[in-house]
Structure 1
């Protein structure tokens, strides 16, 4: 199986989870792509794809999006993202895989513990900062954002829509940093462009499955996704270091 086929397969599988949960794409795509690509390249492809699909998500889901929360989270992400991109340039590939596993594990713990957050702008800004840090480091802004929306008991439909649009915002914020650090080049952009139809088809398939989930089913699917992703990524990183 050639590299382009592997990329499209990984993107499609991750996109199904994205359509199902609203946050599954980078959590699944980056670890999967990093099995046969450099992790930094996998991060860049994921960010490019989320930028490509973001305007479509905003147009389709604008009535469900929690824009006030996203504004506060976006402000935090503006600070955290450059720090994450700086870390991306320093970490070796296998250490990066362990970092990815740790990031996914944070999201898993938040779901299991059903974290409750106090009212006010502070938690939203803090979640945005952490999401920006994780976005720049691993194209994975999901775990802190997921913890925030579940902690404020936002309904599943609004959580899913808000997460999709938030990831578009964090991807846009990350683009200048990727360019400045030399991560954006013709080969990576071409790979993302070729995989884009797989992202659209997978998101549509996952959205059909989401329609059949209730609130409890949504939480269960999210928990299972994070657990599997963390285990696979940690195993790959440890194998490389040992």
Structure 2
């Protein structure tokens, strides 16, 4: 018990935890509103604060809890024909991507995460989307790319978001598809860090503080989805992505 307190106290008193709390609240509201936002905000921010090997496992564990929280209400609206192949391919590719997380230089990986999020935010702001069909081979290819990113950086969302948001479906279907996709790979994504020894006591201490923040923020975002027009939400969300990516890239 004494050893646990000696490890936890410096973590709880660290100013970086306060920054992580603010970022987590914003990410939770975005996730509840749009169905995505957890990883693309928290992966660069946590990597900047603690380094990728310490920050990404916290985010992956939180992603698992959030996915379980949102999934039941989204299942009925999701397009399983598209989402299940995407999720299956991503789950198979995630362990290979995790090898990069376990072996790559931490500073280089942090800058890659920041640059990737920055580019993703700019693409969303530009309005670019994939506008072709969604055949099974392409679903599998996009899912594989997402899985590699998930394992290496904690972010599976960017290629899938750009791919799924291309359709003409209503916002409710888009949101449900994203929630279901993230849920299908949430469990798989925590296995490699667990085996690799990255989920240690400091990670669990940070998770214990940040998880309640996320749990409270997601329902707020879900309620805002019913009352806040997308034209007001979208500029805010894009601005957050640009700031998060820029901090990790240049910080």
The TM-score bracket by the shorter chain reads: 0.7 to 0.9
Aligned to 1:151: 166
Aligned to 2:95: 82
* CA deviation after TM superposition for structure 1 residue 43, in Å: 0.7
Q: Give the TM-score normalised by the residue count of structure 2.
A: 0.83
Q: Give the TM-score normalised by the residue count of structure 1.
A: 0.86
* CA deviation after TM superposition for structure 1 residue 143, in Å: 0.2
* CA deviation after TM superposition for structure 1 residue 2, in Å: 2.5
Number of equivalent positions: 236
Aligned to 2:8: none
Maintained 8 Å contact 1:156/1:215? no
Point out where structure 2 has 5 or more consecutive residues left out of the alignment: 1-11
Matched, 1:21 2:34: yes
Point out where structure 1 has 5 or more consecutive residues left out of the alignment: 237-242
Cα distance in 1 between the residues matched to 2:13 and 2:23? 13
Q: Name the CA shift for 1:130/1:102 in 2 (closer, same or farther; >3 Å).
A: farther
Cα distance in 2 between the residues matched to 1:206 and 1:65? 19
Aligned to 1:240: none
Matched, 1:108 2:108: no
Q: Name the CA shift for 1:64/1:114 in 2 (closer, same or farther; >3 Å).
A: same
Q: Which has the larger radius of gyration?
A: 2
- Over aligned residues, Cα RMSD in angstroms? 2.3
Q: Name the CA shift for 1:195/1:67 in 2 (closer, same or farther; >3 Å).
A: same
Q: Name the CA shift for 1:38/1:230 in 2 (closer, same or farther; >3 Å).
A: closer
Aligned to 1:228: 243
Cα distance in 1 between the residues matched to 2:232 and 2:89? 30
Cα displacement string for residues 165-209 of structure 1 (whole angstroms, at most 9, x for unaligned residues): 322222211122112211122331232133211001111222233
